[in-house]
């Protein structure tokens, strides 16, 4: 019988200090199929893929390519076997062009001189063939995350890889980009590429994958045909119990205005235009206001302007009746503002600090953690971090002393959410609070956000995920090209209508 | 169990430093073999023996004292580099700040006739201000601290030459001796000279330098201020996000760093051990050797105490190499070779971890093999 599997990973076990990341896991990828790998954060999906990609060596188990056992010691071996990977955090050189990034490592040359022309033709042909539109001469730092991802995909195709691994590819994309990516993946599979698709977004798996293998806490749970399984069944397999996919919440009871933004304008770093133009909005106590929009429409700059990371060109910000426009960041944060940042690696964490140190990053100077001579009170820091870790179920290899860098993305995010909510703010600003999280964690964080609202706090969320926007918010503001173009009620609007506003096809005069 | 020790951070640092030293000595020996094989063994032993070159105990002690006198400023320079490095800054300007410290301490001592304590304080302040220039350029103009540091090194050198020309001997390019022109400014010895066989250059400088190392360790590891500085060093965006004054932190760091280097200069020049040569055409190597000492010490303030002593030990030892067999530059060559190898501490650590990983993998494979055999029996 002809071997039908492109890749087989049989009985893989991989241990880390204090944790068994993969415990006897088996997955088999058929040729030309899209195979989803589903699991919560820390379930061991990324570890398993790193084993396949040669970044880690498994203690037990074998890997077969086209039925033959192979040994993959490093990414070069993986590449030689035709295995390519799009990492969750892209591996691109920011100051190089798209083309340079694609050919990097396999530069075509004659006598040591670069032959970019043929490379360009090959790249253009590939992007034509698979519908991957991207300008080969654009610099990585200037293009959107979606285009960066296409660059990564082109990189694999350029190397003529047969097995493509996508590690949570949709976590960073807008709804439109996700749809395009799904199409691209289908095209690739139709051309005979075998795809491993790591995700915890059930509807995406349902939409694109042929089969789905589920991992839970490092153990292999099972493989199902996605067309035969319901979303509820998949999610039960993933978390081990049934979860409600919708946020349970009561009617909001908006109180006094807590945040009042008047005519805020923020300059852009990318171009000469302003990124945020004359935005005014109010957030009241006891309501969740959600700013929806496609990535790159000024949301990042808006939040940076609001929290003080970027200076304002003009405008006024009032928090709890106090003008905070010109306050330094520390003062803003002690005046009742909490901020869950968009980029957890860039802003949210000091990755080389331990988990406990990251837990007190916003509060280390308080008398509880620093005595009057300026010495840190390590005992209290340990106790406090242990409390947060337990309360918010932050999982890590070694508890409080785990270095943040070694934690999974979801648990890093949980640590930040724990830190920011536990500060007991008056206003919680959360940017993409559930980005890259699994269903269980999303449910938990959404509950926490609603609890903050019910405790009479104001909540301002910036999100790219339509589902989240519709689920959590009491009021939706749509941002398009730096302006608020619509105010919608999540109870009466539809995702389609929201999409029209987000794409700029529809706009109202909004007086918030 | 032994594996746990091998994985231990502190042990690794120590082990890597020792390997670097051995490698440095070995390569130094090979170079000596090439130049003149007959005296190589003896020459390298002289470098390592340093003051043990002498057979009389009191001469040994006296020369041990000399090594210690120069260890104090080197330790301060190493601490200066280390402190900035912990905040993510590479203070190559320590050499220039050291130079500013020389200028300030000698001028205050001879030109102004101040006592040793004011001289030390003024030197530290001048160094701090000089460091602040680098900090200001870095935080407000985004000028790389290495570039501005190197350029400021030259400015410091020639300014020092210019200012100290006013207090130099008319017949030589050297500044006046403190014991004739600035006795008040001589650092007190507190009777330590008696321990070192009457070596009057041994003063409170060394204990002060060791105390500084301890203080820096406490500051970085135990205090709120250190927490902020290290956070800024690891991730200045996160530091800004949580409201730390990251610009101020950079400036303050370079000020402290500069102050330490300049204070180190006063530890050397207020002992009258050396005079400044007003025709100098290069900044003293002390600041640069400080970089090597900081790395050899595993970037740990306490480790730096020992690494500084070692580097000074071989630098002094170089002077005892037989000059009839080797040219006079050989001592500097050998000691700088060893110092150069000292920079490889992190490489050694990396290689060590790689090796351990491989070993563990092999063991895992073996265990697996044993298990599958057992499975076969069934």
Q: What tens digit of pLDDT does each residue of A138-176 get?
A: 888 888 778 888 899 999 889 888 999 998 887 667 777
| Distance in angstroms (rounded) separating the CA atoms of residues A212 and A229 | 9
Closest B-chain CA to A308: B241
Q: pLDDT tens digits, residue range A100-128?
A: 999 888 888 888 888 888 889 999 998 88
Q: Nearest CB to B240: which of A329, A357, A369?
A: A329
Place B376 in a pLDDT band, splitting at 50, 70 and 90.
very low
Residue B378 has pLDDT above 50, yes or no: no
The alpha carbon of residue A374 is apart from the nearest alpha carbon of chain B, in Å, by: 6
Contact residues on chain A for B85, CB-CB shorter than 8 A: none
B10 vs A8, more confident: A8
Q: Give yes or no for residue A207 having a pLDDT over 80.
A: yes
Residues of B in contact with A328 (CB under 8 A): 243, 245
- Among B224, B230, B238, whose Cβ lies nearest the Cβ of A365? B224
Contacts of A329 in chain B (CB under 8 A): 240-243
Interface predicted TM-score (ipTM) of this complex, two decimals? 0.77
**Which residues on B lie below 8 Å from A57 (Cβ)?**
361
Residues A341-356, mean pLDDT to the nearest whole number = 91
Total CB pairs under 8 A between chain A and B: 72
pLDDT at B128: 97
> Considering CB atoms only, which of B222, B235, B367 is closest to A350?
B235
Looking at chain B, the whole-number percentage of residues with pLDDT higher than 70 is 94
User: Considering only A237-241, B48-52, B203-207, B299-303, which range has the smallest mean pLDDT?
Assistant: A237-241
For residue A262, list its beta bridge partners.
Answer: A316
Burial of A313 (0-12, 13-18, 19+ CB in 10 A): middle
Of B224, B239, B241, the CB nearest to A341: B241
Q: How many residues does chain A have?
A: 512
Minimum-distance CB partner of A350 among B225, B234, B361: B234
Higher pLDDT among residues B12 and B149, named by residue? B149
Is the domain covering A244-336+426-512 a CATH 3.40.50.300 domain?
yes
Asked if B237 lies within 8 A of A357 by C-beta distance, the reply is: no
Q: What is the mean pLDDT of residues A265-272?
A: 76
- DSSP class per residue in B249-278: HHHHHHHHHHHHHHHHHHHHHTTTS---BT
Q: Which residue does chain A place closest to B358, by CA atoms?
A: A57
CATH topology of domain B64-309: ABC transporter involved in vitamin B12 uptake, BtuC (1.10.3470)
Within 8 A of B234 by CB-CB distance, chain A residues are 350-353
Instruction: Please name the residues in contact with B40: beta carbons below 8 A apart, sequence gap of 6 or more.
Output: B29, B32, B33
Nearest to A482 by CA among A329, A328, A291: A291
What confidence tens digit (pLDDT) does each residue in B258-284 have? 999 999 999 999 998 889 999 999 999
Look at residue A369 and tell me whether its pLDDT is greater than 90.
yes
- Chain-chain contact of B237 with A347 (C-beta, under 8 angstroms): yes
Q: φ, ψ for residue A115 (rounded to 5)? A: -115, 80
Residue A261 has pLDDT above 70, yes or no: yes
From the candidates B219, B223, B227, which should be mutated to test the interface with A, based on the most A CB atoms within 10 A?
B227
* Chain A: residues touching B (Cβ < 8 Å): 57, 59-60, 307, 309, 328-334, 339, 341, 346-353, 357, 361-362, 364-365, 369-370, 374-376
A327 close to A316: Cβ distance less than 8 angstroms: no
pLDDT at A17 over 70: no
* Alpha-carbon distance A141 to nearest alpha carbon in chain B (angstroms): 18
How far is C-alpha A495 from the chain's CA centre? 21
Give residue B4's pLDDT: 67
pLDDT value of position A199: 82
Q: Which of B161, B177, B173 is nearest to B282 (CA)?
A: B161
| B142 touches A: beta carbon within 8 Å | no
**Inter-chain CB proximity B364 and A59 less than 8 Å:** yes
Q: Looking at residue B1, what is its pLDDT?
A: 45
Min Cα–Cα distance to chain A from B295, Å: 19
Angstrom CA distances, B257 to B235, B292, B322, stand at 20, 16, 38
Give the integer Cα–Cα distance in Å for A41 and A417. Answer: 15
Share of chain A above pLDDT 90, in %: 33
Cα angle A273, A277, A283; round to 5:
150
Would you say B167 and B104 are in contact if contact means Cβ atoms under 8 Å apart? no
Q: Does B177 touch chain A (CB under 8 A)?
A: no
Nearest 5°: CA angle at B373, between B371 and B375? 70
Answer yes or no: are the C-beta atoms of B175 and B167 closer than 8 Å: yes
Alpha-carbon distance B34 to nearest alpha carbon in chain A (angstroms): 37
Window 218-247 of B, Cβ < 8 Å to A: 222-225, 227-228, 230-231, 234-235, 237-245
Beta-carbon separation of A353 and B231 below 8 A: yes
Q: Rounded to 5, what percent of chain A is helix, strand, coil?
A: 35, 25, 40
Cβ count within 10 A of residue B72: 29
Q: Which of A207, A83, A82, A94 is nearest to A141 (CA)?
A: A94
Q: Please state, as a whole number, how many other Cβ atoms lie within 10 Å of the Cβ of residue A440.
A: 19
As annotated, the residues of chain A forming the CATH 3.40.50.300 domain(s) are 5-239, 244-336+426-512
CA distance to partner chain B, nearest, from residue A507 (Å): 33
* Residues B229/B86, Cβ–Cβ less than 8 Å: yes
Strand partners of residue B191 = none
Q: Which residue in A has a C-alpha nearest to residue B86's C-alpha?
A: A352
Q: Across the interface, do A339 and B237 touch by the CB < 8 Å criterion?
A: no
Of residues A330, A349, A376, nearest to B227 (C-beta): A376
> How deeply is A481 buried, as exposed, middle or buried, from its count of CB atoms within 10 A (0-12, 13-18, 19+)?
middle
Q: Which one of A12, A17, A20, A329 would you mutate to disrupt binding with B, by most B Cβ within 10 Å of its Cβ?
A: A329
How far is Cα A438 from Cα A238, in angstroms, rounded to an integer? 9
Instruction: Name the 3-class secondary structure at A25.
Output: strand
Largest CA distance in chain B: 97
Cβ separation B245–A330 shorter than 8 A: yes
pLDDT of B115-168, one tens digit each? 999 999 999 999 999 999 999 999 899 899 999 999 999 999 999 999 999 998
Whether A411 and A349 have beta carbons less than 8 Å apart is answered as no
Say if the Cβ atoms of A329 and B237 lie within 8 Å.
no
Distances (CA, A) of A17 to A52, A215, B302: 20, 20, 29
Closest CA to A371 of B301, B227, B211: B227
Residues of B in contact with A357 (CB under 8 A): 227
Q: Which of B234, B235, B241 sits opposite A309 (nearest CB)?
A: B241
Name the nearest CA neighbour of B289 among B304, B272, B269, B270. Answer: B304
CB contact under 8 A, B235 and A349: yes
Neighbours of B329 (CB within 10 A): 10
A16 CB neighbour count, 10 Å cutoff? 13
Does the structure show a pLDDT above 50 at B377? Answer: no
At residue A458, φ and ψ (nearest 5 deg) are: -90, 140
- Chain A hits for B246, CB-CB cut-off 8 Å, are none
- The C-alpha angle with vertex A293 and arms to A289 and A299, in degrees rounded to 5, equals 75
A361 and B238 within 8 Å at the Cβ level: the answer is yes
What pLDDT does A243 receive?
Answer: 54
Long-range pairs, A216-220, Cβ under 8 A, ≥24:
A216/A39, A216/A40, A216/A43, A216/A240, A217/A40, A217/A42, A217/A43, A217/A44, A218/A19, A218/A20, A218/A21, A218/A22, A218/A23, A218/A25, A218/A43, A218/A44, A219/A23, A219/A24, A219/A25, A220/A23, A220/A24, A220/A25, A220/A26, A220/A27
Query: Looking at the predicted structure, is the pLDDT value of residue A51 above 80?
Result: yes
User: Residue A485: which of A510, A462, A512, A511 has the closest Cα?
Assistant: A510
pLDDT for B369? 63
pLDDT at B375: 47
Cα separation, A324 vs A9, in Å, equals 56
| Interstrand relation of A19-30 and A34-38 (parallel, antiparallel or unpaired) | unpaired
Chain A CB contacts of B243 under 8 Å are 328-334, 362
Measured between CA atoms, the residue of chain A closest to residue B238 is A347
Eight-state DSSP code of residue A397: S
Report how far apart the first and last C-alpha atoms of chain B are (Å, whole number): 33
Evaluate if residue A508 carries a pLDDT over 90: no
| Model pLDDT for residues B158-204, shown as the tens digit of each residue | 999 999 999 988 888 999 988 888 888 888 888 787 888 788 888 89
- Which among B92, B162, B78, B102 has a CA at the least distance from the CA of B134? B92
Helix axes B246-269, B57-86, angle to 10 degrees: 170
In this prediction, residue A307 carries a pLDDT of 92
**Tell me, what's the pLDDT at B365?**
67
Average pLDDT of chain B? Answer: 87
Instruction: Tell me the CATH number of domain A5-239, given options 3.30.300.30, 3.40.50.300, 1.10.10.10, 2.40.50.100.
Output: 3.40.50.300
* Rounded alpha-carbon distances, angstroms, from residue A391 to A43, A354, A394, A415, B147: 20, 18, 8, 10, 48
pLDDT of B211-246, one tens digit each? Answer: 999 999 999 999 999 999 999 989 989 999 999 988
Window 337-366 of B: residues touching A by CB (8 A cutoff) are: 361, 364
**Rounded to an integer, what is the distance from CA A204 to the centroid of its chain?**
15
Q: Do B223 and A57 touch (CB under 8 A)?
A: no
Q: How far apart are CA A246 and CA A493, in angstroms?
A: 17
Under DSSP, the state recorded for B279 is: T
- Residues of chain A in contact with residue B227, where contact means CB-CB under 8 angstroms, are 357, 364, 376
Mean pLDDT of chain A: 86
């Amino acid at each position: 019988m002809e071997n039908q599997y492109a890749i087989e990973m049989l009985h893989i076990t991989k241990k880390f200090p204090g944790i068994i990341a993969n415990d006897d896991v088996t997955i088999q990828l058929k040729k030309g199929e899209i195979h989803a790998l589903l699991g919560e954060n820390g379930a061991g999906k990324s570890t398993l893929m790193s084993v396949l990609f040669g970044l880690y060596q498994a203690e037990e188990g074998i890997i077969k390519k086209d039925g033959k056992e192979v040994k993959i010691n490093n990414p070069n071996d993986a590449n030689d076997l035709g295995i390519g990977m799009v990492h969750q955090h892209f591996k691109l050189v920011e100051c190089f062009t798209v083309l340079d990034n694609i050919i990097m490592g396999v530069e075509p040359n004659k006598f040591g001189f670069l032959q970019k022309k043929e490379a360009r033709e090959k790249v253009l042909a590939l992007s034509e063939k698979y519908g991957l539109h991207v300008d080969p001469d654009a610099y990585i730092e200037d293009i959107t995350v979606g285009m960066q991802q296409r660059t990564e995909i082109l990189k694999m195709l350029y190397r003529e890889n047969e097995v493509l691994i996508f590690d949570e590819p949709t976590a960073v994309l807008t709804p439109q980009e996700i749809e395009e990516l799904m199409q691209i993946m289908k095209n690739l599979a139709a051309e005979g590429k075998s795809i491993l698709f790591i995700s915890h977004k059930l509807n995406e798996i349902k939409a694109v994958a042929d089969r789905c293998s589920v991992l839970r806490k490092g153990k292999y749970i099972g493989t199902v045909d996605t067309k035969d399984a319901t979303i509820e069944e998949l999610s039960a397999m993933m978390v081990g119990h049934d979860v409600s996919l919708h946020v349970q919440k009561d009617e909001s009871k908006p109180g006094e205005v807590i945040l009042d933004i008047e005519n805020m304008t923020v300059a852009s770093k990318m171009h000469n235009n302003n990124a945020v133009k004359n935005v005014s909005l109010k957030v009241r106590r006891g309501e969740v206001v959600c700013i929806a929009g496609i990535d790159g429409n000024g949301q990042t700059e808006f939040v940076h302007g609001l929290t003080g990371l970027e200076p304002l060109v003009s405008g006024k910000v009032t928090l709890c009746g106090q003008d905070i426009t010109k306050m330094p960041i520390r003062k803003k944060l002690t005046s009742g503002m909490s901020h869950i940042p968009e980029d957890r690696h860039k802003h949210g964490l000091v990755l080389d600090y331990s988990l406990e140190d990251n837990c007190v990053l916003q509060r280390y100077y308080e008398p509880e953690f620093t005595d009057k001579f300026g010495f840190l009170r390590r005992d209290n820091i340990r106790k406090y971090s242990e409390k947060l870790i337990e309360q918010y179920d932050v999982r890590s290899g070694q508890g409080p002393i785990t270095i943040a860098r070694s934690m999974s993305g979801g648990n890093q995010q949980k640590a930040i959410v724990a830190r920011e909510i536990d500060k007991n703010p008056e206003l919680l600003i959360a940017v993409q609070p559930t980005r890259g999280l699994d269903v269980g964690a999303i449910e938990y964080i959404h509950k926490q956000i609603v609890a903050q609202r019910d405790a009479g706090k104001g909540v301002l969320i910036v999100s790219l995920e339509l589902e989240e926007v519709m689920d959590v918010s009491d009021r939706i503001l749509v941002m398009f090209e730096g302006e608020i173009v619509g105010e919608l009620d999540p109870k009466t609007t539809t995702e389609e209508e929201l999409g029209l506003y987000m794409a700029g096809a529809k706009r109202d005069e909004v007086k918030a | 169990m032994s594996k746990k020790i091998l994985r231990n951070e502190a042990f690794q640092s120590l082990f890597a430093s020792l390997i670097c030293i051995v490698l440095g000595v070995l390569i130094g020996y090979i170079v000596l073999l090439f130049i003149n094989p007959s005296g190589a063994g003896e020459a390298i032993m002289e470098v390592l023996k340093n003051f043990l070159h002498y057979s009389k105990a009191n001469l040994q002690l006296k020369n041990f004292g000399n090594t210690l006198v120069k260890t104090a400023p080197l330790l301060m320079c190493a601490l200066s580099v280390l402190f900035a490095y912990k905040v993510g800054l590479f203070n190559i300007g320590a050499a220039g700040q050291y130079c500013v410290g020389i200028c300030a301490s000698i001028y205050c001592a001879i030109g102004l006739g101040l006592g040793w304590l004011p001289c030390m304080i003024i030197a530290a302040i001048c160094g701090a201000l000089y460091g602040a220039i680098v900090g200001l350029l870095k935080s407000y103009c985004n000028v790389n601290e290495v570039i501005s540091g190197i350029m400021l090194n030259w400015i410091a050198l020639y300014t020092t030459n210019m200012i100290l020309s006013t207090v130099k001997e008319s017949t030589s390019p050297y500044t006046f001796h403190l014991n004739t022109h600035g006795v008040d400014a001589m650092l007190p010895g507190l009777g330590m000279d008696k321990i070192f066989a009457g070596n009057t250059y041994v003063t409170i400088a060394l204990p002060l330098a060791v105390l500084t190392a301890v203080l820096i360790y406490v500051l970085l590891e135990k205090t709120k201020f250190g927490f902020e500085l290290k956070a800024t060093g690891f991730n200045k965006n996160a530091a800004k996000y949580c409201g730390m004054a990251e610009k101020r932190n950079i400036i303050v760091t370079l000020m402290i760093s500069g102050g330490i280097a300049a204070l180190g200069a006063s530890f050397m020049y207020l002992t009258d051990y050396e005079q400044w040569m007003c025709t100098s055409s290069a900044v003293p190597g002390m600041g640069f050797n400080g970089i090597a000492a900081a790395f050899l010490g595993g970037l740990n303030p306490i480790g730096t105490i020992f690494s500084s002593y070692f580097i000074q030990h071989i630098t002094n030892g170089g002077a005892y190499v037989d000059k009839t067999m080797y040219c006079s530059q050989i001592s500097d060559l050998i000691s700088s070779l060893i110092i150069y190898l000292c920079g490889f501490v992190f490489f050694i650590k990396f290689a060590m971890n790689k090796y351990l990983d491989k070993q563990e993998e092999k063991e895992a494979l073996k265990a697996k093999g044993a298990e599958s055999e057992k499975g076969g029996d069934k």
